[in-house]
Amino acid sequence: MFSRFIIRSLTRPLIRLMSTKHELQLLLDAKCRSCGIKLQQDNPKEPGFFRPRSSHEDTDQPKQKFVSESNRKYNQFLSQLDPSDRNLLINNFSAPKHDPELEPVSEPEPKKARVPVTDNIDVMPDTHPAELIEGQYTCVRCRDIHHRSKFTMNEKEFVIDSMEEVLAQIPKDSPLVYVFNAMDFPMGINPEIFKHRNPRDLYFIMTKTDNLFMKSSGATHDYCKTFLNDYLGQKYRVPPENIFIASGKKRWRVKRLYEFIPNYSYFVGYTNCGKSTLIKSVKVAEELKKFPEYTNVKDFGKTNKFIDKTFAKIGPGISHLPGFTRDIMPVYINGDKTIYDVPGFTSNKELRNICQQLDSKAVAHMFRGRVAQKAGDYKSRYFTAKGPHVLSIEGIAFLELPASTMYQIRNVTDLRLHEFRNIAKAESILQNIPPAMYPSFLLKDKTPELSQLNKLYIPPFYGTIDLVLENIGYINIKPVGAKETNDLIKVYLHPSVRAAIRQPIMEYINKTFTGRDDRGEPLPKADWVRKSTFDLKRYDNDEPFLSRLLTEDAAKTDCVVDENSKYDFWKE
């Protein structure tokens, strides 16, 4: 608990007494800069293994330049030519390639003296001692993921604990910053967190908001903040000053975020919610203050390239793979603030299952999502699906629509939708998927059959709903036409995927039709577009916003819902 105070008490003169990198590493336990695990060199099969630098990297002798076989042969024949014949060569090939004996002799440049650590100067300006260590080494697992797109998804290399196990590693008096994903809100908020902290001592950050709306400022951002204040305030008594909206990927409002985050706070949340990306964005934003020539230029392409290059070198590593962060990592910002990146938790024990069968590009595709303001708004493009058709969400989820029903479908995921004419056709295709249909199935020929999936039911609903897939996105479902049956929509889910339904989130962050004219009189739906007024829907905690899917035992098909009873069968 007191380690962070001991670390901060160390001064630069103490560092200057360390004469070698090995002694500097002994200052603290060396951890992987990317995932936080303690490094070891003994067993390549155990977590945390890393390969140290080769011996020639620590000597003053320059590394011999590699010469390919073709260049060596070329230089050999070129050396046998007369000078007059050699001058006849064109395209500036007259000089031998990488042959020091044939290259013109020039005065060697004076070699710059290496500055030892023991000199009476700072090792790095504004650098904490631990930063010198955390920036040095990366474990083999993280290097393979980042540079070779190679990984083995197992419990040893990708540890994903429960919330209780993660919080047990955090001091009880430390401030917590709870990070959750905007796309699957409120699935990313575990109510059990309020058993460990008072709501007034918790800080909430909604991240990945670039998948919700397109700009970091404006009415939509303000409406979203109002909605979060209403939801978290009325449901959990969280004060509005403890709520923040950001995007780590787009680096939205990171300067204000730096001021919002308490010192010595721990970032917690479900796995893949964007904690590490958010921390990196804050770290980079503060580092960029040292480079005013980049922060003030109008060439945003050049600036972003510089920022992306900086992203790869500092702060925790980021990945779409669940369980990438393996241990608590301190991140020091400007020497003024320390925040801790904490491994994500989950209650889904089957989360690794689907990632074991995918490569890194497919995992990124599954979790990428789409911008809800473009794809999930009432003005967005939709297609009509009729029962008893079956809608496949790239093979990881299937919706069996009841007969004699019709729905408008808006896809707010990055996954491809495919429509089968009935459940029998879907089952026959899954038994032997033709290669021509592989683009419509994320797992291709490894897609499980319907009997191997979890069979659930969407509760009875009235009006439009969002079918939310955790960390993936959501499907907006709007019934149209006359209702002729009370049968429920069946959902077949891959064991690694969790789902729920919610009220349409866009109605709470965008103004929508009220269904009434300027005088407050109700309008028929045919006149809504021309005559209806607009209003922002506000959350009042009088009705459920989210409902879990029902099992076959709890599903009821004889219930009738209307405007007054549309949430009677929802189960939070």
- Please give the pLDDT value at position 535: 84
Give mean pLDDT, residues 212-239: 92
* Integer Cα distance of 313 and 485 in angstroms: 58
Q: Model confidence at 518, in pLDDT bands (50, 70, 90)? A: confident
pLDDT of residue 126: 38
- The residues near 425 (Cβ < 8 Å, ≥ 6 apart) are 390
pLDDT value at residue 7 = 42
Is there a contact between 242 and 234 (Cβ–Cβ < 8 Å)?
A: no
d(Cα 308, Cα 474) in Å, to the nearest integer?
Answer: 29
Split at pLDDT 50, 70, 90, the class of 238 is: very high
pLDDT top residue among 563 and 326: 326
Asked whether the bond before 186 is cis by omega within 30 degrees of 0, the reply is yes
Per-residue pLDDT reduced to its tens digit, 89-148? 755 454 554 554 444 444 445 544 433 433 333 333 333 333 333 456 888 898 888 888
What's the confidence (pLDDT) of residue 378?
A: 83
What does pLDDT average to over the chain?
81
- Residue 153's pLDDT is what? 85
Q: Which residue has the higher pLDDT, 302 or 459?
A: 459
282-334 confidence digits (pLDDT tens): 888 887 777 766 555 544 455 566 666 666 667 788 888 888 888 898 998 88
For residues 8 and 128, what is the distance between their CA atoms, to the nearest angstrom? 8
The DSSP letter of residue 136 is T
Of the two residues 90 and 258, the one the predictor is more confident about is 258
What is the reported pTM? 0.79
Six token digits for residue 27: 């200052």
What is the DSSP secondary structure assignment for residue 52, as one 8-state letter?
A: P
- pLDDT of amino acid 148: 83
- 243 has which bridge partners? 204
Task: Measure the CA–CA gap between 517 and 519, rounded to whole angstroms.
Answer: 5
CATH code 3.40.50.300 region(s) in the chain: 160-347
How long is the chain?
A: 572
DSSP 497-560: --EEEES-THHHHS-EE-SB-TTS-B--GGGHHHH--EE-----SSS-SEEEPBPTTT--SS--
> Which class in CATH covers the domain with range 160-347?
alpha beta
Q: In this predicted structure, what is the pLDDT of residue 428?
A: 95
Residue range 15-71, pLDDT digits in tens:
333 333 443 444 346 888 888 888 888 888 888 888 876 544 444 555 567 778 888
Quick check: 257 pLDDT over 80? yes
Hey, how many other C-beta atoms are within 10 angstroms of the C-beta on 410? Answer: 23
Helices within 212-321 (DSSP H only): 219-236, 254-260, 275-287, 292-295, 300-311
What is the Cα–Cα distance from 259 to 263, expressed in whole angstroms? 9
C-alpha triplet 376, 378, 381: angle, nearest 5°: 65
CA angle 178, 183, 188 (to 5 degrees): 35
Q: Give the confidence band of 571 by pLDDT, cuts at 50, 70, 90.
A: confident
Q: Residue 176 pLDDT more than 90? A: yes
Check whether the bond before 388 is cis (ω within 30° of 0): yes
Q: Is the pLDDT of residue 406 over 80?
A: yes
Mean pLDDT of 436-455: 94
pLDDT of 278 strictly over 80: yes
Q: Is 132 or 518 the better-scoring residue by pLDDT?
A: 518
